[in-house]
Structure 1
Amino acid sequence: MSKGWSIQTLLSELHDDIQDQLARARKAFGHPGTKGDASEAVWLELLQTYLPARYQAASAHVVDSAGTFSDQMDVVVFDRQYSPFIFKFKGQTVIPAESVYAVFEAKQSINAEQVAYARAKVASVRGLKRTSLPIPHAGGTYPAKPLQYIVGGLLTLESDWKPGLGEPLVKALAVGDADDRLDLGCVAAHGIFSCDDTGCGTLTPMGKPATAFLLELIARLQEKATVPMIDVRAYARWLDVDVPA
Structure 2
Amino acid sequence: MNSGSNAPLDGAVVAVAGAAGPAGRATLLRLAEAGATVVASDADPERLAEAVDAARYAHGGATVTGDTVDLLDLDAAREWADKTEKEFGRIDGLVHLVGGWRGSPSFAETKLADWTLLEKLLIRTVQHTSLAFHDGLLRSDRGRFLLISAAGASNPTAGNAAYAASKAAAEAWTLALADAFRKAGGDDGPKAAAAILVVKALVHDAMRAERPNAKFAGFTDVTELAEAIAGVWDRPAREANGQRLWLTPKP
| TM-score computed with the length of structure 2 as normaliser | 0.38
Structure showing the higher helix proportion among its residues: 2
| TM-score computed with the length of structure 1 as normaliser | 0.38
